[in-house]
Every structure is written in structure tokens, then in C-alpha cells.
Amino acid sequence: MHAIQQVLHRSARPISVHEFRDAILATCKPRFPEARGSMHRPVGLAISGGVDSMALAYLCSQIRKLDPDIMITDHPCAGFRAFVVDHRLREGSTEEAHSVMKALHEMGIPSDLLPINWKKELGENVDVKNLSNIESAARRARYRKLGHFVAFRKMATLLLAHHQDDQYETVLMRLINGHRNRALIGMREASDIPECEGLFGVYGSGWVDDQTRKHPFYNTKLSKKERKSLKQELKFRINELMHEDQQAEDQLANLGVFDTTGADDSLGKTPIRFNWSPQLGSMPIENGGVSIHRPFLEFGKDRLVATCVENNVPWFEDHTNTDPTLTTRNAIRHMYKSCELPRALQKPAVLALSKSCQHRARAQDAEARRLLQRTVLHDFEPHVGTMVVQFPNLQVHGSKGASSSNEYHQHRLSQKRIIAALALQRVIALVSPEYQAPSVTNLQNVVSRLFPSLESLPDASRAAPPKAFNVAGLHFMPIESSPPSVASSALLHPQIWYVSRHPYVATEPLPQWRISAWSPGLERRRRPRKPRSRWSVWLPWHFWDGRFWIRLTHRLPSRLVVMPFLVEHSKDFRTALPPQDRARLAAVLKQYAPGKTRYTLPAIYAEEPVDFDNVVSHPKHPEPRNDLAINASQRIIGKPILPPIDRSKMRLLALPTLDFQLPGLEKLLQHEVRFKKADRDTLRTMGSFDGGSFAPLRASSITHRSRNIRKLCINSKRRERLLHKRQGHLGEGHQAAGG
């Protein structure tokens, strides 16, 4: 523990509670503005014991004295709870962690100690001290531990103590590594918690469970006052539009030239319609998770030190942070503290560069949003993870003759391609199985395919017919949307794409989740008369193939496995279904999962043949090993290793996302499926999307009514244009006759 003399920090002033409150409100904005978070909710603090995190803890302990009901993200703050991670990478770390918790207790902040078990994280045979990527491994283990306990404590917000000097080091490292443009933004003020893929309630999930609570944290229902006001407003607006519409029809009918109904129908046709006749019902779409916020990014470390010194707050220095040979960040820190860098690499210049990149990124994001508003999402089907999307034509007008004009044209073309790539990132993330969307640089070839007008090649190259391609685990397939005579005009009818999970590659392992057989164990001896009534507990949610959250409970005597729908098991599964289910399955697959798309859907199999009429448990069945392990060195010693799956012995039991299963299986197996987080802002921004079950009730009701009003407006404007056009033609005819 260190107490630096205040005389060393005369130039730095402490951070006041009012300043900190303003920083909290600026960085912790609502994630769900359409929801009302009236319930108080605690907020988590990531505390390491350093001067930055201890300053964060102190200011948080004081802020509720100033504003007891301060809104942090979506809820009034119910208090703070600190999480102290013990990495166990140096001697004395555990004792230091307990000292940090004692200091937090004196501030009135409760805390949890989170020790990292490296044998569990990396395996028995891996020595953490010999890892070359120790910084990355520690970061991943730390965030996953924090995310798990934040969700366990029913929190959704975690405050971090990264400050201005950390931002400088981050941007400087990226400059040295050759990054540019958006990578130089540095750390963001708010984002989803990283490194927590597959953790339910932490990684983009938990929303559906919250909405089923008696008192949910996020209230999306309209109040009586809001419903009454909305109803009156919509009624007035619809009556007004219908009156204008009727006036336009009467004027067109008086001209006696053409049938108004037929004209409206022809003008109102969309390039393509996807009418899915079989209805599958609703598929819950997840959202939520844990978000991290950094309120100190505008404060230098000297002000954090001054805050602790001024208020007698102890802190603890980690000597490993000063070893330049240990991590890249330590080397960067040693370099700029011990050497006089060029002015362009000093802190003010680098932070100014970061601010400039942030402003440019915000402008680009706004342009990408406007592009999304012109993008038509004809269909979005979470049951199978597909969508039908139509991107607009982008034109870059300008002369290509003179060299200066050509340079300006190429610059605008480059900017348009960046905007298109940013919009593509958001569209791809809706259904991609990958955790991270491709970078803007890696999407340039895709931009050329989807926006041929942005290609700098001669116009003849744009006339080539579009071809299917793969990107980010997705298969983009062009589909014919209209007759050739109409489709020949690319400006009027841009290409439509069917986007689905690309077929699995034979050289790569299939995604699978193995579940142990039902074994009542001791409970069976306690209740020997009713062994069939016992079920396994609901297993934790499993994130399958980066697309579906699946959980189940069963009492089958065979191990189960969730794998893709395999073609060799489709015939036997169809044969076992009743005739009407067999016909419905064929129709559903034809409409919702055509071609190879159906073989990317999750299916539940029994690894061994099962006699449904005589279910007997195997009390000594081995447990399956952890399928999330990266390699053999991560297997936990003492756990039996299962043999490879024999596909010839498997039996297909259910297609959970399509809600098909063998007759009578509900007595032996129950399952729940949800689609991964699909950004609601992207779905609402894209045009012509009919919001389904994923939309919150409050937003869904408004969106549905406003969509009807928008259609009435469009029809009225179309008829008005036709009326003016026809009157102009009639006027010209009268003038010609008079002449």
C-alpha cells in the first residue's frame, strides 16, 4: 500500500462528486430506451486495488449521497457491489485481495472475492507462468469470472476504472502495430462485456427470462395513459389520411381515364413477396447481458491519485505492472515515461487523434444507419436463422475526366465503400454464427459483390450476373425477384439475397453438445416405487453453433447429443411421424429451410437405440467431458473420456427449432430454444420488416400502427402524383387541339 505525498500532485486537482456524477450520466446511457426501468438495481464495480479502481470505489460510495436515485443505464441505482479478482499469478496476491476488500468494507461497499483457478481454465498440465500470452489469458479469465458473478448477482452493469492514460497506451500500441482509422478510437465508453461468449445471462442473453418475471427489470408494457393517448392520435391520423385518400380517388375517377384500383395495385407491388404458408409460431429472440462502462476516460491518472490522496483512500501497487519485459503494455508504459517521444506520439497528440477518429466514426455510423433505412429486409426467420435482404443501389456522381476530379471521385467512392461495409457488419451480425463481424477491410470484396456500382472497374464488369458467396459463416445466394423485363433495370429493382448459414465443411468437426444419460442415483433409492416420475434437472443454457440457445431436461437411458440435422437420419424421422405431421414437416422444410439450409438446423439425437416402451435408467452411465475444451490438455483429470459418436447408432428424436419430435417424446424429453441476440435497432431501421415476437410489446404496438399509417401516406402521395401527371397531359392535349 502506498501513500504518495500530496506535494507531488499540486497541479492535479481531485475529482469532485459532481464531476463524477456527470461522467456517469454521460457514459451510462440507457440500453433499452423503449423500456421503463423503475425497479432499483445494483451496479457492479471491477476493483483491482490500484489507485484508479480505488478512486472509482470511493466516488461511487459518495455519489448516492448526492443523488440517491441516480439512473445508471436503465435503472435507478440500488447500491454498488465490488468484485475483486485474484489472478494468483504472484506471491501475496490473495492477502492483498483481502486487504482491498477490507478497505472497501470501510467505505461501505460490499465485495466478493473471485479467485481464478488456472487448472480449471487451462488444464492440469499447463503451467500458467510459462504462457507466452499470459496477458490475454488473464484478461479472458478475468472478464469471464466478472461476467458470471455480475449476472449471478442480478446485475447488468459493470463499471471499470480505465482512465485517460490507459486510453493513451491503448491507442499508442495500436499505432505501433500498424492499425489505423476506426482502430484508433481506442477503448469505448460503453460496450458489451468481452470474452464471455456462451455464458447465458452475460453474453447477449437474459432478456426473455426477465420478461417472464412477475416484476421484470425492464417494463415494456404501455401504461393506460400512453395507450389512451396513442389510440386517440392514431385514430385522428388514420381518419385524416383516409379522407385525403378518398379525395384523391374521387378526382382520379372523375377523369375517367383508368381504373384507380388497378393503378394502385400495380404501383404498390414490391419486387418480391415471401408468404410463408406454414406457421411455426413465435421464436423468442434473446437480448440483454452485461455491459461495461468506463466513466474515467476523460480523467488522467494524476487526478485519480489526487482524489485518493485528498480523501485518504488507500491503494495497492502491483509491481508486475512496472516490468517492461512482462507485457507489451508495460513496455509501452516504460517507453513513454523514460523517453522523450516525438511530439506526434506524446499524450496530447495521440488523444487528439483518438478524438478525431471518434468524431469521424460517429459520422460514418450515422451514414451507415441512413443506408440501412434504404435497405429492405423482406424476411427474417429466427427459427432457421435466415433472412431475405435487398440492398439499395449506391451511386457516386461526379466527373472522372480531370485528374483532380478523378481523385475526388475515388475519395468519395472509398468513403461510400466504408459506409457500405459498416452497414453490412450490422446486417451480417443478425444471423452470423461468428462472435465478431468481419472488419471493414475484410468486407471490401463483399461490398463489390453487393454494391456493384461502387466498384472502380469499368462498367462492363458490373453487367456480370451476381453469384453466391460465403462470408462470416453465412451463404449469400442471389434470387430472382421479378420478370426479366423488369429486372433489367438495376436502378428500379436491386438484387435480392437469401442469407443462411453456410453448409458445414466436411473437414471441420460439427457443432455438438453431449448430454449424459438419465440417472436418478440416490433419489431412486429414496423413491423406488416411482422411478419414471423423476426427471433430470434443467441443464444450463448451451449456446449451440453461435446461433441458438438450447436447454433441456430428460429421463432417457441414453446419452443425448445436439448436432446438425443429418441427411442420413431424415428418412427414418419422417417415417416415424404421424401422416399429418409428416406432410407438415415437408411443407415447413420446403418453405422455411430449402435446399441445404435444413441441414444446418439443430437436432436432438439419442446416441444409442432407445426402447420408448421400456425406459430403464443406467445409474453408472459416464458423464460426457466438457466440449468447450480447446485441446486435450484441458480435459479435467478424473472425468471419463467418452468414445467418438457412432452416427449409425444414433436416432433422431426432435427438431427443436421447428417444433417437430417423435410421438410421445414429450413424456421423456422437454426442450427450450431461443435465437441469439439480434440487434433490435438494426431490425427496426431496415425498411419493410414486419416486427414479430421479438419486438417488445411497447415498441411492437407503435411500430405496427405507424407502419399502417405509412402505407396510407405512400398510397395517397402516389395517387396525388398520378393526378397531377394526368392533369398535365390533359392540359397539353387541350392546348394542341386549340392550336
Sequence ranges of the domains in the chain: 6-206+290-319, 224-285+696-738, 374-502, 513-680
What is the DSSP secondary structure assignment for residue 642, as one 8-state letter?
P
Beta strands in 16-109 (DSSP E): 41-47, 71-72, 75-86
With 0-12 / 13-18 / 19 or more C-beta atoms within 10 angstroms meaning exposed / middle / buried, residue 522 is exposed
With 0-12 / 13-18 / 19 or more C-beta atoms within 10 angstroms meaning exposed / middle / buried, residue 657 is buried
Grid cell at residue 471: 462470408
Q: Find the range with the poorest average confidence among 130-139, 340-349, 688-697.
A: 688-697
For residue 136, pLDDT over 60 is answered with yes
For residue 254, pLDDT over 90 is answered with no
**Confidence category of residue 228, pLDDT binned at 50, 70, 90:** confident
Q: Find the range with the poorest average confidence among 35-39, 311-315, 335-339.
A: 35-39
Dihedral sign (CA 554, 559, 565, 570): negative
Q: What is the tens place of the pLDDT at every residue in 337-362? A: 888 889 999 999 999 999 999 999 99
| Average pLDDT of the segment spanning 266-279 | 38
What is d(CA 288, CA 290) in angstroms, rounded to the nearest whole number? 7
Parallel, antiparallel or unpaired: strands 651-655 and 602-606: antiparallel
Q: Find the range with the poorest average confidence among 250-264, 577-591, 683-697.
A: 250-264
| Higher pLDDT pick, 365 / 713 | 365
What is d(CA 454, CA 546) in angstroms, rounded to the nearest whole number? 32
| Average pLDDT of the segment spanning 189-207 | 96
For residue 602, pLDDT over 70 is answered with yes
For residue 635, pLDDT over 50 is answered with no
Please report, rounded to a whole number, the percentage of residues in the chain having pLDDT higher than 70. 78
| Average pLDDT of the segment spanning 295-315 | 97
| Higher pLDDT pick, 297 / 645 | 297
DSSP string, 472-501: TTEEEEEE--S-HHHHT-TTTS--EEEEEE
Beta strands in 472-600 (DSSP E): 474-479, 496-501, 513-515, 542-544, 548-554, 560-564
Q: Which pLDDT score, from 0 to 100, does residue 94 have?
A: 95
What is 6-206+290-319's CATH number?
3.40.50.620
For residue 252, pLDDT over 70 is answered with no
| Higher pLDDT pick, 640 / 44 | 44
Q: Which pLDDT score, from 0 to 100, does residue 190 have?
A: 97
SS3 state at 623? coil
Q: What is the tens place of the pLDDT at every residue in 697-732? A: 333 333 343 344 344 444 444 544 544 554 454 444
DSSP string, 332-370: HHHHHHHS---GGGSHHHHHHHHHHHHHHHHHHHHHHHH
How does the average pLDDT of the chain come out, rounded? 82
| Higher pLDDT pick, 476 / 454 | 476
| Average pLDDT of the segment spanning 597-624 | 76
Residues 6+ apart with CB under 8 A from 604: 552, 560, 561, 562, 652, 653, 654, 655, 656, 661, 669, 671
For the chain, percent helix, then strand, then coil, each to nearest 5?
45, 15, 40
Residues 6+ apart with CB under 8 A from 359: none
**Confidence category of residue 246, pLDDT binned at 50, 70, 90:** confident
For residue 534, pLDDT over 70 is answered with yes
Please report, rounded to a whole number, the percentage of residues in the chain having pLDDT higher than 90. 56
What is d(CA 104, CA 61) in angstroms, rounded to the nearest whole number? 9
For residue 522, pLDDT over 80 is answered with no
For residue 257, pLDDT over 80 is answered with no
Place of cell 508504459: 333
